[in-house]
Amino acid sequence: MSEFRSITYATRDRVAYLTLNRPERLNAIDDDMPGEIAAAVEQANDDPAVHVIVVAGAGRAFCAGYDLKDYAEAGHQTQDVVWDPIADFRLMKRNTDQFFTLFRSLKPTIAKVHGYAVAGGSDIALSCDLVVMAEDARIGYMPSRVWGCPTTAMWVYRLGAERAKRMLFTGDTIDGRQAAEWGLVVEAVPAEELDAAVDALAERIAGVPTNQLAMQKLMINQAYDNMGLAGTQLLATLFDGITRHSPEGRWFQAFAAEHGFAEAVKWRDSGRPIPEGGGPVPRAEDL
């Protein structure tokens, strides 16, 4: 049995419950979380009593993405001016592969999304086989405006090219109702019904033998592999590192270091232009 710092793990009635557990930070991703997700998925797959895995978030949100207080404001994992792309790729490829154990798991995975599943948090949710959202929850990838590229690339595989472009050209978020209408998630329900809806779905799946579940999942996933999923993720992961070390990405990180990540995110998400080529960080009175 593994001991975890950033998640919790429990089993009940053929279901494993993997809960992101940094509620004071809206379950923002830290250095521990990706590896702990992978370890919990392995634990569930090794347990013959488990038939399905439910992934949820403690507190007010599913996951608010990478912890920008550390990664942007404090500059954690941002390299110096001479950038080593392969060092960055190794780090982000490892995280992507660990998130994607939810997709590669032989046992089905269900994301239960309330509050927010944004930025890297959307990567975690969309790596699951099925996503059930509260109608008022929000999902999106705001760092597509600056300082990020969704490394799992699941937006295009779930939405198709045009709607994926609509989301990633703007960095907008959508609520659970629209996500279900677009086919990004399987279902949206009123927030007060989310627990019951996910429990009912997990119970329905859990009655199926694990070998049957594994064969259906492998067959369906193979279609994505045939469409070049691995190559798309490789490109997305390389691009993610470039976005964080481009002139505009360095401007964003410097902005966060100077004024705090909340102000940097406020500028990014407001629609105000991101300075081409970076440029000086604005003064406090110009915010």
User: Residue 210: enclosing H or E segment and its boundaries?
Assistant: helix 210-226
221-230 pLDDT, tens digit per residue, is 999 999 999 9
Cβ-contact 34, 98 below 8 angstroms: yes
User: Got the DSSP string for 103-141?
Assistant: HH-SS-EEEEE-SEEETHHHHHHHTSSEEEEETT-EEE-
Cβ-contact 150, 236 below 8 angstroms: yes
Residues with Cβ within 8 Å of 241's Cβ and at least 6 positions away in sequence, in order, are 83, 85, 88, 89, 92
CA–chain centroid gap for 163, Å, is: 18
User: Measuring CA to CA, which residue among 173, 126, 148 is closest to residue 237?
Assistant: 148
For the domain made up of 7-286, the CATH class stated in words is alpha beta
pLDDT at 228: 98
pLDDT at 75: 66
Using the structure block, give the residue that is written with the tokens 């940094």: 22
6-20 pLDDT, tens digit per residue, is 999 999 999 999 999
pLDDT at 83: 85
Q: What are phi and psi of 22, to 5 degrees?
A: -130, 60
Predicted TM-score (pTM) of this structure: 0.96
176-194 pLDDT, tens digit per residue, is 999 999 999 999 999 999 9
